[in-house]
Chains A and B, each alone.
Chain A
Amino acid sequence: MTRPKPEPVQVIKQRRDAALHALVNGVPYIQFLGVEFDRRGDELTAILPYADKLIGNPILPALHGGGTAAFLEITAIIELAWAALWEDMEAGRLDPATLHPSHLPRLPKTIDFTVDYLRSGLPRDAYARARINRSGRRYASVHVEAWQDNRSRLFAQATGHFLMPERGA
Chain B
Amino acid sequence: MTEQRTRIARQFIEAIPHARALGMQLDAVGDGVAELSMAYDERFIGDPSTGVIHGGAVFALMDTCCGAAVMNHATGAAGTATLDLRIDYMRPATPGQRIRTRAECYHVTRTVAFVRATATDDDDARPVATASAAFTVERAT
Partner of A115, one of B16, B22, B57, B85: B85
Report B95-133 residues with CB < 8 Å from chain A CB. Answer: none
Chain B, residue nearest A103 (CB): B49
Is B18 interfacial (CB-CB < 8 Å)? Answer: yes
Q: Is the CB of A56 within 8 A of B59?
A: no
In the bound complex, residues from chain A placing their C-beta under 8 Å from that of B85 are 65, 69, 114-115
Report B60-102 residues with CB < 8 Å from chain A CB. Answer: 60-64, 67, 81-89, 92
Given A52-B17, A110-B89, also A70-B59 (CB < 8 A): yes
Q: Is the CB of B59 within 8 A of A73?
A: yes
Q: At the interface with chain A, which of B1-9, B26-34, B38-46? A: B38-46
In the bound complex, residues from chain A placing their C-beta under 8 Å from that of B67 are 65
Q: Is the CB of B59 within 8 A of A55?
A: no
- In the bound complex, CA of A8 to CA of B47 (Å): 34
Report A38-89 residues with CB < 8 Å from chain B CB. Answer: 52-58, 62-67, 69-71, 73-74
Chain A, residue nearest B83 (CB): A117
Interface size class of A (residues with CB under 8 A): 35 or more
CB distance from A32 to the nearest CB of B (A): 5
Is B10 interfacial (CB-CB < 8 Å)? Answer: no
CB distance from B130 to the nearest CB of A (A): 10
Given A27-B48, A70-B60, also A54-B86 (CB < 8 A): no
Q: Is the CB of A112 within 8 A of B82?
A: no
CB distance from B47 to the nearest CB of A (A): 6
Given A53-B21, A69-B85, also A28-B59 (CB < 8 A): no
CB distance from A145 to the nearest CB of B (A): 15
**Footprint of B on A, CB under 8 Å?**
26-29, 31-33, 52-58, 62-67, 69-71, 73-74, 101-102, 104, 106-107, 109-117, 120
**Footprint of A on B, CB under 8 Å?**
15-22, 42-49, 53-57, 59-64, 67, 81-89, 92
